[in-house]
C-alpha cells in the first residue's frame, strides 16, 4: 500500500469513528451490504455491528416479559367434544389408571381417546380387557401395533395375520407406527428398512382389505436432519435430546424418507393412511396441500406441530378450512396442561401468547379462530369417518 493510501485509509477510519461516537456508539464492526454481523454483535446502524456492553444472556436465560396488552381468552375445555386420535396415555391396564385419565379427559372435554401405543398381542388384549371392564369403555378405542423387526420374504403374510388377529381382539386400526420405522429399524442383513420396502406390501394391502387405517409417523421435523448450528431453529431441542439428532453421517435424509413414504401412499391407493404430525409438513403448508391433493387416501393429524400452526395463523386457518375433512386433532405426549394451548390456537383470535415448550419454539403463538363447522370436523367428524370403529353416536351434529 502506498503512503498516500495509508493516510487516506486512516483519515476515513477517523471520520467514521468520529461519526459513530457522535451518535453515542462505541465504535463497531463494519459489514458489507448483505453480510452478517460477526458472532456476539448485532447491526446497530446499516453496515455497522456492535457488541452489547454487558455479557449477553444465553437463549435459556433471556425471558423478556411482554408489555403487549391484548385480550386473553384461555380455553381450558374444548368448545366441542373432541377425539384425541394420537393418545399416549401410558399403561391403561388398571382401573385406577383409567379413572385418572377419565378425570383429565372430562376436564378438557375430550370425549374419546384413541390409544396409539402401537401394541400387539398380549399387551393389546390386556389393555382392551381393562377398558372393557371399566365403566368407560366408550371413552377409549385402541390401535394395534406392527413389529417391523426381521422383515423378510414371509414377513408380510405374518404381519397381515397378526393385524387380523389384533382387529378381532378389538383394535380399530394400527398406530402409531413409530418414527424408528424408516429412520433406524434395520433388516436382518443390517441395512435400513426402507419405508417403501416391497416386502411390506402384503401388510399395506391387508389394511385395504380389512378397511382400517394405518397411522404412521414418518421422518421428524426437518431441522432434526440439518447441522446443529446457530441457524437451526431446533438447536436447543437437538442439544437437549441427543436421540433427535438425525443429522449424523450416514443417516437417512428427510427428503429420502418423504420420498419413500409418498411411494407407499402412491403404490397403495386403496389403503387409508394417517400421516402423524401433519406428515411433518406443518412448516410448509403448500407442501402439505400438495400431499393431500396427490393422495386422496391420506389424512393428517395435528399432534406436536402446534408451534407451526400458531406462527402462521392466517395461512393455517385457510388450510384448515380447505382441508377440514382431512385433518384430525391429536395431541401425542399426554400432558393434561398442554391440551388447552391447542384449544386456544384453534378457537380464539388471541395474539402473541406463550407456547408450552421453549425448546420446540421460542416464538409466540396466535389464534386461528376456526369456524365452528371446521372445529367440529377437526375435533371429531373427520376422525369418525377415518376410524370407523370409533363410537359413532352421541356427537353434536
- List contacts with Zn ion (CB under 5 A): 217, 276
The residue number with the shortest CB distance to Zn ion is: 217
Q: How far is the CB of 329 from Zn ion (least distance, A)?
A: 14
Q: How far is the CB of 391 from Zn ion (least distance, A)?
A: 24
Q: How far is the CB of 66 from Zn ion (least distance, A)?
A: 31
Q: How far is the CB of 114 from Zn ion (least distance, A)?
A: 13
Beta carbon nearer to Zn ion, 217 or 344: 217
Beta carbon nearer to Zn ion, 180 or 239: 180
Write down the number of H helices and E strands in the chain: 14, 12
- For the CA atoms of 86, 88, 93, 95, the dihedral, rounded to the nearest 10 degrees, stands at -90
Give 79's contacts (C-beta < 8 A, 6+ positions apart): 109, 343, 347, 372, 375
Q: How far is the CB of 176 from Zn ion (least distance, A)?
A: 5
Identify the CA nearest to 85 among candidates 393, 287, 396, 385. Answer: 385
Q: How far is the CB of 386 from Zn ion (least distance, A)?
A: 17
Residue 397 CA to residue 395 CA, distance in Å, equals 6
Beta carbon nearer to Zn ion, 28 or 279: 279
Q: How far is the CB of 102 from Zn ion (least distance, A)?
A: 23
Identify the CA nearest to 369 among candidates 352, 348, 339. Answer: 348
Distances (CA, A) of 133 to 50, 76, 171, 206, 332: 67, 30, 16, 30, 25
Query: Cβ distance 23 to 48 under 8 Å?
Result: no
Identify the CA nearest to 355 among candidates 315, 311, 300. Answer: 311
Instruction: Look at the block and give the residue holding cell 436382518.
Output: 188
Identify the CA nearest to 308 among candidates 297, 316, 300. Answer: 316
Residue 227 CA to residue 239 CA, distance in Å, equals 11
Beta carbon nearer to Zn ion, 86 or 111: 86
Q: How far is the CB of 83 from Zn ion (least distance, A)?
A: 17
Distances (CA, A) of 183 to 51, 174, 218, 253: 42, 19, 8, 9
Residue 234 CA to residue 362 CA, distance in Å, equals 9
Beta carbon nearer to Zn ion, 49 or 177: 177
Distances (CA, A) of 339 to 277, 361, 367: 15, 16, 14
Beta carbon nearer to Zn ion, 356 or 395: 356
Residue 356 CA to residue 337 CA, distance in Å, equals 9
Q: How far is the CB of 95 from Zn ion (least distance, A)?
A: 28
Other CB atoms within 10 A of residue 67 CB: 5
Beta carbon nearer to Zn ion, 272 or 376: 272
Beta carbon nearer to Zn ion, 217 or 261: 217
Q: How far is the CB of 179 from Zn ion (least distance, A)?
A: 6
Three-state SS string across 229-268, please? CCCCCCHHHHHHCHHHCCCCCCCCCHHHHHHHHHHHHHHC
Beta carbon nearer to Zn ion, 118 or 348: 118
Beta carbon nearer to Zn ion, 51 or 361: 361
On the question of a cis peptide bond just before residue 176, with omega within 30 degrees of 0, the verdict is yes
Q: How far is the CB of 226 from Zn ion (least distance, A)?
A: 20
Beta carbon nearer to Zn ion, 194 or 277: 277
Amino acid at each position: 500500500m502506498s503512503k498516500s493510501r495509508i493516510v487516506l485509509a486512516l483519515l476515513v477510519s477517523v471520520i467514521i469513528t468520529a461519526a459513530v461516537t457522535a451518535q453515542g456508539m462505541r465504535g463497531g464492526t463494519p459489514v458489507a451490504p448483505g453480510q452478517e454481523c460477526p458472532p456476539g454483535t448485532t447491526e446497530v446502524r446499516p453496515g455497522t455491528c456492535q457488541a452489547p456492553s454487558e455479557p449477553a444472556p444465553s437463549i435459556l436465560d433471556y425471558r423478556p416479559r411482554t408489555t403487549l396488552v391484548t385480550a386473553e381468552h384461555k380455553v381450558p375445555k374444548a368448545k366441542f367434544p373432541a377425539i384425541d386420535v394420537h393418545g399416549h396415555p401410558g399403561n391403561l391396564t388398571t382401573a385406577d389408571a383409567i379413572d385418572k385419565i377419565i378425570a383429565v379427559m372430562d376436564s378438557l372435554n375430550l370425549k374419546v381417546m384413541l390409544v396409539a401405543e402401537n401394541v400387539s398381542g398380549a399387551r393389546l388384549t390386556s389393555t382392551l380387557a381393562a377398558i372393557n371392564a371399566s365403566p368407560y369403555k366408550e371413552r377409549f378405542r385402541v390401535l394395534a401395533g406392527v413389529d417391523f423387526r426381521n422383515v423378510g420374504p414371509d414377513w408380510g403374510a405374518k404381519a397381515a395375520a397378526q393385524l387380523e388377529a389384533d382387529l378381532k381382539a378389538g383394535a380399530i386400526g394400527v398406530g402409531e407406527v413409530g418414527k424408528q420405522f424408516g429412520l433406524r429399524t434395520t433388516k436382518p442383513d443390517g441395512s435400513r428398512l426402507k419405508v417403501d420396502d416391497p416386502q411390506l406390501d402384503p401388510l399395506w394391502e391387508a389394511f385395504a382389505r380389512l378397511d382400517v387405517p394405518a397411522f404412521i409417523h414418518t421422518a421428524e421435523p426437518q431441522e432434526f436432519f440439518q447441522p446443529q448450528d446457530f441457524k437451526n431453529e431446533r438447536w436447543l431441542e437437538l442439544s437437549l435430546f441427543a436421540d433427535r439428532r438425525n443429522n449424523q453421517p450416514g443417516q437417512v435424509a428427510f427428503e429420502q424418507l418423504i420420498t419413500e413414504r409418498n411411494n407407499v401412499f402412491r403404490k397403495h391407493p386403496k389403503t387409508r393412511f394417517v400421516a402423524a404430525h401433519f406428515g411433518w409438513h406443518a412448516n410448509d403448508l403448500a407442501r402439505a396441500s400438495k400431499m393431500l391433493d396427490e393422495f386422496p387416501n391420506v389424512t393428517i393429524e395435528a399432534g406436536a406441530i402446534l408451534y407451526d400452526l400458531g406462527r402462521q395463523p392466517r395461512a393455517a386457518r385457510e388450510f384448515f378450512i380447505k382441508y377440514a375433512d382431512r385433518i384430525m386433532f391429536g395431541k401425542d405426549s399426554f400432558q393434561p396442561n398442554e391440551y388447552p394451548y391447542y384449544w386456544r390456537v384453534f378457537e380464539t383470535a388471541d395474539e402473541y401468547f406463550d407456547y408450552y415448550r421453549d425448546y420446540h419454539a421460542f416464538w409466540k403463538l396466535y389464534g386461528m379462530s376456526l369456524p365452528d363447522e371446521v372445529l367440529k370436523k377437526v375435533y371429531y367428524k373427520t376422525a369418525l369417518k377415518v376410524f370407523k370403529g370409533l363410537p359413532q353416536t352421541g356427537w353434536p351434529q
